[in-house]
Amino acid sequence: MKDCKNYRKNLENCNCTYEPCSKKGYCCECIAYHRARGELPACYFPDEFERTYDRSIQAFVKLFMSKNN
Ligand code: SF4
């Protein structure tokens, strides 16, 4: 296991269902990975949308706008 004092707590709050990911629980790696791709981490999305694995900022904005209009 990589060294992170927040690992267990991070996992408790992680809603990501993409099981093979080695970044799960390591939020700094997770956000850097998705940021570099113009995406957001799973925890920005509701569970039912998270499962689509579309983590694009465009998808987030579309979802956010549909919920607030
Ligand atoms: S959101 Fe992405 S990087 Fe983060 S744990 Fe899930 S699949 Fe991995």
Helix (H, G, I), strand (E, B) or coil at 19: coil
Ligand 1 contact, 21 CB (< 6 A)? yes
Residue pLDDT, tens place only, 10-47 = 999 999 999 999 999 999 999 999 999 999 999 999 99
User: Which amino acid is residue 42, in one-letter code?
Assistant: A
Angle subtended at Cα 20 by Cα 56 and Cα 57, rounded to the nearest 5 degrees: 5
Ligand 1 contact, 16 CB (< 6 A)? yes
Q: Which two tokens stand for residue 38?
A: 């113009």
Q: What is the pTM of this model?
A: 0.88
